[in-house]
Amino acid sequence: MTKAIILSLGMLQEEVNTNHFIVYLLAKAKASNPGFNFTPDLQTQAYALSDRFNAGKVSPEDFKRGLLTLFTIPEAEITDTTFWEKWDAMVTVGNIKDKMQLLQDFSSDHQSLIYLHSDTNTVHLEKLKTEYQAQSITLNTDTSPPQVEQFPLYASCLAGKSRFELVQHIIAEIKQKQFNHPDEIILILADPENIQNPHDKANQKKKIASIIEWCSQQENVSVKLHSSKDSLLTTLQKAAGAKTALTPAAQI
């Protein structure tokens, strides 16, 4: 029985942490405007802007300008260099070479097809390409779809799709395969409980609930959540041995 496992690229990194960036912006906002309040409406606008950036619909320059405007931070207060250094610091790559070897071994041992997906932006993707290359790992965005070594990569910023649309697109492409057609598709998502920042956690819970609801209506598609308490290998092993039992949205 062949399984297709769709794995978030973020799970291969040592850490993906948005909290420091958000805290930094909030501190800058308070310094510029002591009465600043990150209201639910502003949170919604900030996440909508980030989603558009991740979908490749907003340029890096317009994203920075729009975000500073929402936080009422004068553009002169944060240089481009500092802003993007703080932005890049969200992602710590770690030893990607060992993670890729783990995927290759797992794929072979468990007769599993591995697909990678990432709700990311062009800036973070370029950071990954550079740091992967330093470890002799190829992230090729010139192919269709792009690839990390031999594994297909679907990135929101390159596909021009939201995270939800990207998941739907990947699953549709897998189901259309004429050869090596999988019997089951397992989508692995990061558990929102891994996220420190309460605003970001609530936003991710909403997004994942919609994805889980859609997947529950698809034949032979299941969703598994990756907890930061588990190793990547543990999560993959759980997925490989899992039946098509959906994680209820109410439990995330």
Tokens, residue 191: 């558990």
The predicted model scores a pTM of 0.89
Q: Does residue 171 sit in the same domain as residue 216?
A: yes
Q: Does residue 61 sit in the same domain as residue 50?
A: yes
Contact between 60 and 124 under an 8 Å Cβ cutoff? The reply is no
Contact between 116 and 189 under an 8 Å Cβ cutoff? The reply is no
Ranges under pLDDT 70 in the chain: 242-252
What is the structure's pLDDT at 188?
95
* Helix ranges, 7-59 (H): 19-32, 40-54
Residue 23 structural domain = 19-88
Q: Does residue 145 sit in the same domain as residue 218?
A: yes
Q: Does residue 114 sit in the same domain as residue 80?
A: no
Number of helices (H) and strands (E) in the chain: give both, helices first: 10, 9
Sorted by sequence, the CB contacts under 8 Å of residue 174 that are 6+ apart come out as: 4, 6, 113, 115, 182, 185
Q: Does residue 74 sit in the same domain as residue 131?
A: no
What is the structure's pLDDT at 213?
95
Q: Does residue 65 sit in the same domain as residue 190?
A: no
Q: Give how far Cα 99 sits from Cα of 58, 70, 88, 96, 135, Å.
A: 31, 38, 20, 5, 11
Domain end position, chosen among 43, 69, 88: 88
Q: Does residue 112 sit in the same domain as residue 183?
A: yes
Domain end position, chosen among 50, 65, 88: 88
Q: Does residue 147 sit in the same domain as residue 121?
A: yes
Q: Does residue 38 sit in the same domain as residue 102?
A: no
What is the structure's pLDDT at 147?
97
Q: Does residue 190 sit in the same domain as residue 166?
A: yes
